[in-house]
């Protein structure tokens, strides 16, 4: 049996073993998970949560690696959550990245964790937020979420961060996939990585055009930063812009607004989960199974069935 209070004091003193233990509790949704998350909640809300997304191969991991260095050089501690919805194996995911990031493993100010599906896709965004709460409570200054694709899970993950970086490469100049995906609307910073390649300026101009169509009333207007991650070029500027974004949204009230939205979203979500579990008792599950045994023409309609079940 785990002693939650001892575990929490370990987390608060940034003990890496206790942090890892807490992450496993959350990842495996063990019985202690809610009580743990509930108790650490009061210590969260201090970290700067940064989301990095973009097409596979655009250089997100290389950039993350550069950002780890630039943030730690500023004296900040950094936690990385690599999220791969396509991989069912946590240990198989990010193998290349792990090797690349190996050099950070010795650094006590850096904690790297990768997460993959383990069954339900829907839970991945939630789980990564919960893991971030553990890092936040334990005092990491910066938490970076790196996701691989451009689907719904990535959008959910990004919505739980304070600053969103969308990484593009010159080759994506004609790729309207990104433009359609919804990521364009939520980006706070665009990174044109692989700026050593042809097409960089073309993409820069195209992006500027897309951005000029955006609502311009906000306090923050998305910036476009060119980088060559493999040569660490543009990283200093990018880091400053990320910090600047955080300062601006902190001062304008946007950050508190985001955090209020997350608070009520999570409360709603937890209530829905409880209702669902309470509602579907054995009797109701059987009732549904019974209906399914009948030919479709003899079944009650789902509308009637749900009304009847709900009003019972």
Ligand X SMILES: Nc1nc2c(ncn2[C@@H]2O[C@H](COP(=O)(O)OP(=O)(O)O)[C@@H](O)[C@H]2O)c(=O)[nH]1
60 binds ligand X (CB under 6 A): yes
For residues 222-241, which are near ligand X according to CB under 6 A? 228-230
117 binds, among Mg ion, ligand X, none (CB under 5 to 8 A by kind): none
String of DSSP letters for 102-163 = GGGTT-TTEEEEEEE-SS-STHHHHHHHHHHHHHHHTT-SEEEEEE-S-SHHHHHHHHTSSE
Dihedral over alpha carbons 161, 112, 71, 9 (to 10 degrees): 80
- Give the C-alpha separation, 230 to 270, whole Å: 42
DSSP class of 218 = S
Near ligand X by CB under 6 A: residue from 53, 62, 77, 128 = 62
Print the binding letters for residues 51-70 with Mg ion: x by CB under 5 A, - otherwise: ---------xx---------
- Would you say 193 or 225 has its CB closer to ligand X? 193
119 binds ligand X (CB under 6 A): no
CB of 177 to ligand X, least distance (A): 15
- Cβ neighbour number for residue 241 with a 10 Å cutoff: 19
- Would you say 196 or 287 has its CB closer to ligand X? 196
253 binds, among ligand X, Mg ion, none (CB under 5 to 8 A by kind): none
Print the binding letters for residues 187-226 with ligand X: x by CB under 6 A, - otherwise: ------xx-xx-----------------------------
CB of 100 to ligand X, least distance (A): 8
175 binds ligand X (CB under 6 A): no
CB of 60 to Mg ion, least distance (A): 5
The pair of three-digit structure tokens given for residue 27, joined into one six-digit string: 């990842």
Buried b (16+ CB within 10 A) or exposed e, 193-225: bbbeeebbeebbebbeeebeeeeeeeeeebbbb
CB of 307 to Mg ion, least distance (A): 48
**How many residues belong to the site for ligand X (CB under 6 A)?**
14
- Cβ neighbour number for residue 237 with a 10 Å cutoff: 13
- Cβ neighbour number for residue 297 with a 10 Å cutoff: 5
193 binds, among Mg ion, ligand X, none (CB under 5 to 8 A by kind): ligand X
The pairing of strands 142-147 and 110-116 is unpaired
- Cβ neighbour number for residue 63 with a 10 Å cutoff: 25
- Would you say 93 or 255 has its CB closer to ligand X? 93
Interface with Mg ion (CB under 5 A): 60-61
Interface with ligand X (CB under 6 A): 56-62, 193-194, 196-197, 228-230
């Amino acid at each position: 049996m785990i002693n939650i209070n001892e575990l929490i004091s370990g987390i608060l003193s940034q003990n890496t073993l206790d942090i890892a233990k807490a992450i496993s509790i959350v990842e495996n949704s063990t019985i202690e998970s809610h009580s743990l998350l509930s108790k650490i909640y009061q210590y969260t809300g201090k970290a700067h949560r940064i989301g990095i997304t973009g097409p596979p191969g655009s250089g997100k991991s290389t950039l993350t690696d550069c950002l780890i260095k630039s943030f730690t050089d500023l004296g900040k501690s950094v936690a990385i959550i690599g999220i791969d919805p396509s991989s069912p194996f946590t240990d198989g995911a990010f193998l290349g990245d792990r090797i690349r990031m190996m050099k950070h493993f010795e650094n006590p100010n850096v904690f790297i964790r990768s997460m993959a599906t383990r069954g339900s896709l829907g839970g991945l965004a939630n789980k990564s937020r919960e893991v971030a709460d553990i890092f936040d409570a334990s005092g990491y200054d910066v938490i970076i979420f790196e996701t691989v694709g451009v689907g719904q899970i990535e959008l959910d993950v990004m919505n739980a961060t304070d600053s969103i970086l969308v990484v593009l490469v010159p080759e994506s100049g004609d790729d309207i996939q990104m433009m359609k995906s919804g990521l364009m609307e939520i980006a706070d910073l665009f990174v044109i990585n692989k700026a050593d390649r042809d097409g960089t300026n073309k993409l820069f101009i195209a992006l500027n055009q897309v951005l000029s169509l955006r609502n311009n009333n906000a306090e923050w207007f998305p910036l476009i930063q060119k980088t060559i991650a493999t040569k660490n070029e543009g990283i200093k500027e990018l880091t400053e812009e990320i910090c600047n974004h955080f300062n601006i949204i902190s001062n304008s009230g946007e950050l508190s607004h985001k955090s209020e939205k997350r608070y009520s979203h999570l409360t709603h979500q937890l209530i829905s989960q409880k209702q669902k579990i309470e509602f579907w008792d054995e009797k109701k599950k059987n009732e549904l199974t019974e209906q399914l045994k009948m030919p479709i023409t003899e079944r009650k309609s789902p509308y009637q069935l749900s009304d009847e079940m709900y009003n019972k």
